Structure 1
Amino acid sequence: MSTRSTQRRARFSIGQTVRHKSYRYRGVVVDVDASCRMDDAWYDTQTERRPPKDSPWYHVLVDQSEMSTYVPERNLQADDSDDPIDNPDIEEWLGETDDGLYLPLTRPN
């Protein structure tokens, strides 16, 4: 008898540019969690309708900012812009290829 995994596969990958559906900012994914890793106190402060904790969450460096965000998958969409991401922390996380794509500096475990 086979068992069905409760974990969904992440839609976005490290190095992919994304856009927040509500706030419209652009960013680049630098890490992915299979489920929300923040504690309940942090989760309870979220003002949007409570996103599911058991779906993928993304660490995103925000374009034209020094900020990073932690966003549930349902709030993101792929960004098809060719414009580079301007965030001072990007070089700590990602390298850039000749064709403008971002790649992780180290392989995730």
Structure 2
Amino acid sequence: MTDARPTETRLRIAKFGIGAVVRHRIYPFRGIVFDVDPVFDNTEDWWLAIPEEARPRKDQPFYHLLAENAETEYVAYVSEQNLVPDTSGESLRHAGIPEMFERDPGGTYRMRDRTAN
């Protein structure tokens, strides 16, 4: 006899919101959150390319970041378990930020209003 109950998925509330400045807990990069997936939503090939010992769980929020390290700027997709708040107060230099965000006098990044004129 098989269990006919639907598989239960537990969604967690994302720890970081849009505009949060975060850094990776292991690798030397930081970035700004521009989108959040409540659970893993990338390709299986992407997930399997991560070494098994470092592979994150899929049942957690994943963040799209405008990311940067000392050498370059890029877009990153990172699990919540691998992010911590960036409390440095340093501005981010990513070229995509001015298009998506504005920074208030207190240093907080907010999404730009994208309504049509």
Do these two structures clear the TM 0.5 threshold for a shared fold by scoring above it?
A: yes
Which amino acid counterpart does residue 84 of structure 1 have in structure 2? Answer: S
Q: Which consecutive unaligned segments of at least 5 residues does structure 2 have?
A: 1-7
- Correspondence for 2:61: 56
- Correspondence for 2:82: 75
Q: Cα deviations across residues 50-99 of structure 1 (Å, max 9, x unaligned)?
A: 21112000011123532111000000001111111110011222121122
Q: Percent identity?
A: 37
Matched residue count: 104
Normalising to structure 1: TM-score of the pair?
A: 0.84
Residues 1-109 of structure 1 mapped to structure 2, 5 A cutoff: 6-47=10-51, 49-63=54-68, 65-106=72-113
State the 1:32 CA deviation.
Answer: 0.8
State the 1:106 CA deviation.
Answer: 4.9
SS in 2 for 1:31: strand
Measure, in 2, the Cα distance between the counterparts of 1:14 and 1:82.
17
- Aligned residues of 1:66 and 1:89 also touching (Cα < 8 A): no
Measure, in 1, the Cα distance between the counterparts of 2:113 and 2:18.
11
Q: Which consecutive unaligned segments of at least 5 residues does structure 1 have?
A: none
Q: What is the root-mean-square deviation of aligned Cα atoms in Å?
A: 2.0
The alpha-carbon distance between structure 1 residues 93 and 72, as it changes in their structure 2 partners (threshold 3 A), is: same
